[in-house]
């Protein structure tokens, strides 16, 4: 190891996603094969023992890039000096629950974590919120970290992006890597809008290649938007390995950049682009380079897309207003 280790804090480390995520972080898939990592695992006191068990298994993998593991139930210790915060720990949705039901329960988790990040994280800290409702949880954390640039707080819509990529590839009978420039707009919820109007399939416009408005409206969009619920129905538990995979993709792309001629989707604080009210954490098409992201500008938004973006953004505004009333932002 030549480089100094990067501190990666994972909350909810003993949970399902944590178990699918930690081994991939420790093996170098989060930051690349040349970057050693030191893991900081944050859990609630009752789950610290389980996190210790996972840490024993991590040790048993003898990952060359793993420089150490600290386990704690104290957010201030977990985030002291952290460079990457993966905020996974939250109460997951059960059958029949919508993500919004979780706002209040999870508000109490993300406020102190935002404060701890503000108090002690490294100057270059980058935060990905996975725990649902991810966009508004990210807003709560960000609101309590006034000394950290707001742009460092992001929410995960990469799983939705990846889901959309596969659905579209399967419809067109192409490989996933033939598909570029998909966008998830809005909230990581059933109102999200997966947009194929600017997507390209082997260089051709995806919406024109599909040429099936009914499939788009009645199959593609609901399949992607409700995939989380479909997984819960099928597995009896929420998506874990695919969510961990998307978290790895999100951070890897943020740090290492998007490929030329492509973009990705990230939940980020709005700067007002595309009529999304400033400050709410909404998913946008972004390119990444040099560890920074930029919203893709200048896309023409047709009426079909406009309605759907507006609906998802309206839900985010409602969530923000709810957490405002609860004094969480």
The catalytic site residues sit at: 188
Task: Classify the C-alpha dihedral 265-267-269-275 as positive or negative.
Answer: positive
Candidates 7, 9, 10, 16: give the one binding ligand NAI (CB under 6 A). 16
Binding mask 144-163 for ligand NAI (x = CB under 6 A): ------------x--x----
Which one of the spans 59-67, 90-98, 199-207, 315-323 is the region binding ligand NAI (CB under 6 A)? Answer: 90-98
- Residue positions forming the annotated binding site for substrate: 93, 99, 132, 163
Binding mask 287-306 for ligand NAI (x = CB under 6 A): --------------------
Q: What are phi and psi of 150, to 5 degrees?
A: -55, -30
Binding mask 103-132 for ligand OAA (x = CB under 6 A): -----------------------------x
Q: 18 is written with which tokens?
A: 């944590």
Q: 250 is written with which tokens?
A: 């999100």
First to last CA, the chain: 41
Rounded Cα distance, 175 and 75, in Å = 42
Using an 8 Å Cβ cutoff, are 75 and 116 in contact? yes
Q: Please choose which of ligand OAA, ligand NAI, none residue 231 contacts, taking the beta carbon within 5 to 8 angstroms, the exact cut-off set by kind.
A: ligand OAA
Which one of the spans 144-152, 166-174, 225-233, 316-324 is the region binding ligand OAA (CB under 6 A)? Answer: 225-233
Rounded Cα distance, 135 and 261, in Å = 27
Is the CB of 83 or the CB of 154 nearer to ligand OAA?
A: 154
Q: Which residues pair with 86 in a beta bridge?
A: 10, 128
Closest listed residue to residue 81, CA positions, set 30, 140, 38: 38
- Based on the shown chain and the rule CB under 6 A, indicate whether residue 93 belongs to the binding site for ligand OAA: yes
Task: Classify the C-alpha dihedral 215-221-224-225 as positive or negative.
Answer: negative
Which one of the spans 16-24, 146-154, 292-300, 311-319 is the region binding ligand NAI (CB under 6 A)? Answer: 16-24
Q: What are phi and psi of 300, to 5 degrees?
A: -85, 130
- Based on the shown chain and the rule CB under 6 A, indicate whether residue 107 belongs to the binding site for ligand NAI: no
Candidates 29, 167, 191, 239: give the one binding ligand OAA (CB under 6 A). 239
- Based on the shown chain and the rule CB under 6 A, indicate whether residue 8 belongs to the binding site for ligand NAI: no
Using an 8 Å Cβ cutoff, are 25 and 5 in contact? no
- Based on the shown chain and the rule CB under 6 A, indicate whether residue 245 belongs to the binding site for ligand OAA: no
Is the CB of 11 or the CB of 142 nearer to ligand NAI?
A: 11
């Amino acid at each position: 190891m030549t480089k100094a280790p990067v501190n990666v804090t994972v909350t909810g480390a003993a949970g399902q996603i944590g178990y699918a995520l930690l081994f991939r972080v420790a093996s170098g898939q989060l930051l690349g094969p040349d970057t050693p990592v030191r893991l900081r695992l944050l859990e609630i006191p009752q789950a610290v023992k389980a996190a210790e068990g996972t840490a024993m298994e991590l040790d048993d993998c003898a990952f060359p890039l793993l420089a150490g593991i600290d386990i704690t139930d104290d957010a201030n210790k977990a985030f002291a000096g952290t460079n990457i915060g993966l905020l996974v720990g939250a109460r997951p949705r059960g059958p029949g629950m919508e993500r919004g039901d979780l706002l209040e329960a999870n508000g109490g988790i993300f406020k102190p974590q935002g404060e701890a990040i503000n108090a002690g994280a490294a100057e270059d800290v980058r935060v990905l919120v996975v725990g649902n409702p991810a966009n508004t949880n990210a807003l709560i954390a960000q609101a309590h970290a006034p000394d950290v640039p707001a742009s460092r707080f992001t929410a995960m819509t990469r799983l939705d992006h990846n889901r959309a990529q596969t659905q579209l590839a399967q419809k067109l009978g192409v490989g996933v890597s033939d598909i570029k420039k998909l966008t998830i707009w809005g909230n990581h919820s059933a109102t999200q809008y997966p947009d194929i109007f600017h997507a390209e399939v082997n260089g051709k416009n995806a919406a024109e290649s599909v040429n099936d408005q009914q499939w788009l409206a009645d199959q593609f969009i609901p399949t992607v938007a409700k995939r989380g619920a479909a997984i819960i129905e099928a597995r009896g538990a929420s998506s874990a390995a695919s969510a961990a995979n998307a978290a790895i993709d999100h951070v890897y792309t943020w740090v290492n950049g998007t490929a030329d001629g492509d973009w990705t989707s990230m939940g980020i604080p709005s700067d007002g682009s595309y009529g999304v009210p400033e400050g709410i954490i909404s998913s946008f098409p972004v390119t990444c380079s040099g560890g920074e992201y930029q919203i893709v500008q200048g896309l023409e938004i047709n009426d079909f897309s406009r309605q759907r973006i507006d609906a998802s953004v309206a839900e985010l505004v409602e969530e923000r207003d709810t957490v405002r009333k609860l004094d969480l932002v």
